[in-house]
Amino acid sequence: MKLLDPTSEQKPAQRERVTRPQSLDGLTIGLLDISKSRGDVFLDRIETHLAQRNLKVNRYIKPTFTRPAPIELQQQIATECDVVVEGLAD
């Protein structure tokens, strides 16, 4: 399906990503384990690095990698974190 743009077409046709932060200073970083094998090993290592830089880290776990995260977990991460890192593959 094609839709016709109702705007003044000053933004790219491709939907833009959310702007990336310039720096992680002062931000809360969520580490999401999607329950895939050895994802925790990867995220533990990331957490160690972030902790060395004195950054605030929250850990989360999805019940299963086969389905999207439950709405409650999505909302919790969205309200508690500024950026999220997740391990996608094993």
Q: Interface with other proteins by CB under 8 A: which residues?
A: 1-10, 13, 15
DSSP 14-61: SPPPPPPPS--TT-EEEEEE-S-TTHHHHHHHHHHHHHHTT-EEEEEE
Paired tokens of 1: 């399906």
Least Å from the CB of residue 10 to other proteins:
7
Instruction: Return the number of the residue (17 or 20) whose C-beta is nearest other proteins.
Output: 17
**Residue 20 tokens, joined:** 């990336």
**Minimum CB separation from other proteins for residue 68, in Å?**
13
Compute the least distance from the CB of residue 13 to other proteins, in Å.
6
Which CB sits closer to other proteins, 11 or 45?
A: 11
Could you tell me which residues come within 8 angstroms of residue 4 by beta carbon, excluding any fewer than 6 positions away?
none
* Closer Cβ to other proteins, 13 or 25, answer by number: 13
